[in-house]
A and B are shown apart, each in its own frame.
Chain A
């Protein structure tokens, strides 16, 4: 990075090259093997961990993947992603409560709302980059948080939106048993993952990477940088919304905390932990963070924050590419040596 740029890449240089490599080279058997392994893992998850936790992992993984589109592939650190996760959760919950529609319809409504909300917010914030972009998105998310807190007739305020039903065509097993619900909701998550994968592997996704690496050059090549960023922002919001909607239905209620900035922060933490600009990193990060905090809550140990904080510090200091990124880096090196 010699030329001065207006967009600051959040990735170290080496990793940026690897993202590029992953996009162009990942056409071999490794890609299919990874997808197959991922799919089997997704299907096997509720057999290994407690099903509601498995659902949390899946929903939060999608949230992190959605954030990664912005953070890893567009170079935008959104610190207000909770706005879309949370508002979708509320809209999903309200639609499910008041209209009694099957839950996938409610989740879709939530995600569409999140996308609609992302248009004005994105329009105003993509004109800024770096810390300013983070601050503007954070400000919008906090606005929504206070709005939801104040508007308690609709949202339940601090008490949360309670008793969200899991309507699913009257199939009782899905509506009452978290294990079957997981399989009913998993297609939504997988669709979101697939969409994210398509986005970053499309020509559109390559433009995003180009903007991330050198926005003036992308502009010089004739790309409307702001428009691309806005579209990425809206798509990311929609996918975050899918995750938030599933999360709300799975829990049967919406907590005010879904809109809080700590939720945005957790998404960033998970993505960085897993490895930014990898998509898989979000999934791995969610798996690690959710499982860890679940185990710790039952352990009787009262310093949960200390453990998660320490793990984060260790990963950021020693494995800057994140868990997935470090693994992939090692894999690339090993393959390069063999050739």
Chain B
């Protein structure tokens, strides 16, 4: 360490200064029930990349709606008047998510971080929540790890996960008569998980998986994989591709004319924004599991209309889930009378909730999985679409207890 001899002076100087702030700095607790006398909700998600449309800036709008509804409901009785919303773009990079989460908790005084799509980013934020002892409610990520091996006291998983998607579609479609499956999946964590869970659900429902085909990720040309999958004349091909890859699979499935050969397509993970961007005719007839649909009933529709006034677009389930999570967090704060994370967690755990997004909802105490009714949806034919975004027909409702992984099957220990 050659530097030391000429740096000794600077080091002494800096370390002196360092001790000065060490005494003055640090988070100041005002002694009241609320840190800084306010609540800060932070939305951390993809505001510029592939998930921008399905959550992105409009999730911030949804959270704003929740704050407005909370204030309207409690008025002067609200335990806290000052509710702020912060947001940051994690660009789907776990490194950025990790740093931003720290910054939101430490510097922006965030009491809770919401959304965080992309599993690796969500797991990184969950670890920050655990370290900082602040709440994290994930909505956008799919991994069951959040409520499995990597669960922790401060992390909740709100809307959906791979188990829900695979189990919903796999079970319902098999019970609907499609017994023989071929699964096509992108060869990484998410795809492998989904394939395992799909296979389990299909076999449990009395169907059989004749083949699983791994594809590179990301990938453009799925023709050979689809041909291979179709060669055994299965009843249905299940695809675990998502986003841009899914769009390619669906296009090439249509080009190969597989539907005309009586081979259906079931999709593992699909958002209404995917249907919107590719066009409903491409997806027509496809079956998938949805956590919520904006036009599924009057209550959802009324909320969706409010949302549309703010954003000029229809909400995805992630938007509704962000609203729901923010609202239920604020309700828990109201009940606890403080933003102290441990006390808010106590309020949330085991709570039964019904709101515009959560139907027959329960915030499970064992693993912090939030369970609620899920829906098996079918994409409408273009002729049946009555208005813009009117793309889905809800075929079946999967009751909350059956929709999600049972708590005893999770290897979560808090």
Contact = CB atoms under 8 A, between A and B. Distances in A.
B308 interface: no
Interface residues of A, number: 41
B89 interface: yes
Interface stretch (B72-80, B96-104, B287-295, B387-395): B96-104
Interface stretch (B117-125, B270-278, B346-354, B373-381): B117-125
Nearest to B149: A162
A32 B120 contact: no
A202 interface: no
A159 B6 contact: no
Interface residues of B, number: 44
A102 interface: no
A224 interface: no
A163 B127 contact: yes
A43 interface: yes
A257 B95 CA distance: 9
A50 B94 contact: no
A36 B10 CA distance: 8
B10 A43 contact: yes
Nearest to B17: A47
Interface string A130-167: 00000000000000000001001000011110110000
A323 B413 CA distance: 51
B150 A162 contact: yes
A39 B10 contact: yes
A61 to B, nearest CB: 15
A191 B1 contact: yes
Interface string B75-114: 0000000000001111101111011101100110000000
Interface string A287-305: 0000001100110101110
B88 A163 contact: no
Interface string B117-137: 001100110011001000000
Interface in A210-250: none
Contacts of A293: 96
B219 interface: no
Given A251-B99, A300-B47, A303-B48, A159 B89 contact: no
A302 B88 CA distance: 11
Contacts, number: 109
Given A159-B123, A255-B95, A35 B6 contact: yes
B316 interface: no
B102 A178 contact: yes
Given A52-B102, A157-B188, A157-B189, A251 B124 contact: yes
Contacts of B48: 302-304
A297 B104 CA distance: 12
A159 B3 contact: no
Report the 7 A-B pairs with minimum CB-CB distance, sorted nearest first: A302-B48, A158-B189, A255-B94, A43-B14, A160-B120, A158-B188, A297-B89
Interface of B: 1-3, 6-7, 10-11, 14, 17-18, 21, 47-48, 52, 57, 87-91, 93-96, 98-100, 102-103, 106-107, 119-120, 123-124, 127-128, 131, 143, 145, 150, 188-190
Given A252-B98, A253-B127, 18 more contacts: A32-B6, A36-B6, A36-B7, A47-B21, A56-B95, A158-B120, A158-B190, A159-B143, A160-B124, A162-B127, A163-B127, A178-B102, A183-B18, A190-B1, A253-B98, A253-B123, A256-B120, A302-B47
17 contacts: A32-B6, A35-B6, A36-B7, A40-B14, A56-B99, A149-B188, A159-B120, A160-B94, A160-B123, A252-B98, A253-B98, A255-B124, A257-B93, A257-B95, A293-B96, A294-B99, A300-B89
Interface of A: 32, 35-36, 39-40, 43-44, 47, 50, 52-53, 56, 149, 152, 157-160, 162-163, 176, 178, 183, 187, 190-191, 194, 251-253, 255-257, 293-294, 297-298, 300, 302-304
